Amino acid sequence: MLIPSVQFAADQRAFPTFNLVRLLSSVFEPTQGKSFCVLIDLPDLAEAKDFAFLENTKRQVQQRAHLHFYEGLKQGGLAALGGTKVDMFAYEPTGGSNLDMPDRCVDMQGNERSLERNVYPNYDIILCISTFSATAPLTAFAKKYGFRGATLHGLNDVILNTGLAVDYNDVSRDAEKLRLSMTRADWVEIDFVVHGGEEMTVRLELDGQEAQKSHGLCRGETPDIANLPAGEVYFVPTGAEGCFPLKYEDGTLGKLTVTGGRIIKSELIEGKQSTIDEHNHKLKDDPMTGVLGELGFGTQVLPVSGADIQDEKVLGTCHLATGRDDHLGGHITPELFKRRANATHDDILFAPHKTPNFDIKQTRMSRNGKVEVLIEHFQPMKYLTDALA
């Protein structure tokens, strides 16, 4: 298997054309006799009436949801899948990754509805195409009401034409190959070099747990939610120690200190001290916001999309996440936070396009009494490429 450079993956691989029927039939088999629903989020629910949001240039994610999924199902997709109906609803944005979803929603005629009374119990397959990820809350509702579904937040054209155009049978097979090569690891260490020379290492304790995979398949009748695009092997750390760099949204670069599995402080490397101060205040005010709830590794060869939902699935990248992890099999639930508004699941992606001011010198794993090198300089090493062969 040829593994192209992460940075040039877009130039070295041709992708098939996006095909809604192929995607949904492979992800949700069986689809015969199933009802479908498309959920979007809108800051102003009045824009749902008569699809008024289609005229707002700021609603590109929602417009793609309408064109490629809702209309795609109405205009032949539903018949090809053997589905019974498709409807569309809108709810107000949650304001953060994996925060609780509101119950109030509206249909496309502008009528007020309830997600728990009118949506979750009445549809077999729910597709949530939104601004913020809804994987955690929707997974809980799926188990409660018995539906299957997928979350596709931040959908853009690159994702549509690459990460959602691939064959998810292949994605699932590759994810399982890498999962088997990493499962029951004792620990993972990541070495960073900040441009300027400072080096840091963070160690994630895994205690021999079974690795999990996000592979895109949500088949059968078991209630579950797929996160698309998929292609990831992940763990829920049992502890963590050390330091790692974080690039904040405003470009500020901080050095984070981790102890007892939790980020306890941030120190300024470059940028705005006020950004660091704000983070430190949040860590002190609600310590659960600093808990490391996930360690993930990408398994696909994909181009950079500019959205973490796809870019964290790229082979050669890895990511950590803070906050709630109950949807991953962890114990961190919204009730443990001082404020439910803080109960996000926030990915911290390490990738060359995302974090150009620092490099991953090496990522290594201890497993079966051996230390295996997984990644160097954002490239998968022989242990991973051999597992994929």
pLDDT at 13 (0 to 100): 57
pLDDT at position 9 over 70: no
Angle at 58 between CA 56 and CA 64, to 5 degrees: 85
Lowest mean pLDDT among 11-25, 117-131, 163-177, 248-262: 11-25
Q: Are 270 and 246 in contact (CB under 8 A)?
A: no
> Cis bond leading into 334, ω under 30°?
no
Structure tokens at 161: 């034409």
Region 361-378: what's the mean pLDDT? 97
* Reported confidence tier of residue 15, pLDDT bands at 50, 70, 90: confident
> Which tens digit of pLDDT belongs to each residue from 264-307?
999 999 999 999 999 999 999 999 999 999 999 999 999 999 99
pLDDT at position 239 over 50: yes
Structure tokens at 281: 């205040």
Residue showing tokens 């299957």:
148
SS3 333: coil
Virtual CA dihedral for 91, 96, 97, 99, nearest 10 degrees? -70
> Which tens digit of pLDDT belongs to each residue from 310-349?
999 999 999 999 999 999 989 999 999 999 999 999 999 9
Structure tokens at 238: 């049992």
Query: Exposed, middle or buried by CB within 10 Å (0-12, 13-18, 19+), for 209?
Result: middle
Tell me which amino acid residue 51 is: F
pLDDT at 1 (0 to 100): 30
Among 164, 174, 129, smallest CA distance to 149 is for 129
Question: Alpha-carbon distance 87 to 333, whole Å?
Answer: 31
Question: Alpha-carbon distance 313 to 300, whole Å?
Answer: 6
Backbone dihedral angles phi then psi of residue 322, each to the nearest 5 degrees: -105, 155
Q: Are 360 and 378 in contact (CB under 8 A)?
A: yes
* Reported confidence tier of residue 196, pLDDT bands at 50, 70, 90: confident
SS3 140: helix
Dihedral (CA of 45, 46, 47, 52) sign: positive
Q: Are 359 and 375 in contact (CB under 8 A)?
A: no
Average pLDDT of the chain to the nearest whole number = 95
Structure tokens at 334: 């919204």
SS3 346: strand
DSSP, res 228:
S
* Reported confidence tier of residue 92, pLDDT bands at 50, 70, 90: very high
> Which tens digit of pLDDT belongs to each residue from 108-128?
999 999 999 999 999 999 999
> Which tens digit of pLDDT belongs to each residue from 69-89?
999 999 999 999 999 999 999
pLDDT at 12 (0 to 100): 41
Among 183, 201, 198, 177, smallest CA distance to 315 is for 177
Q: Are 240 and 257 in contact (CB under 8 A)?
A: no
Q: How many CB atoms lie within 10 A of CB 348?
A: 22
DSSP, res 46:
G
Question: Alpha-carbon distance 369 to 339, whole Å?
Answer: 42
Give the domains, in start order, of the chain with CATH numbers.
17-162 (3.40.50), 168-388 (no CATH)
Query: Exposed, middle or buried by CB within 10 Å (0-12, 13-18, 19+), for 145?
Result: middle
Alpha-helical regions (H) of the chain: 9-12, 20-28, 60-64, 71-72, 78-81, 135-145, 157-158, 168-182, 273-285, 308-311, 382-388
Share of the chain above pLDDT 90, in %: 95
Residue showing tokens 């064109």:
67
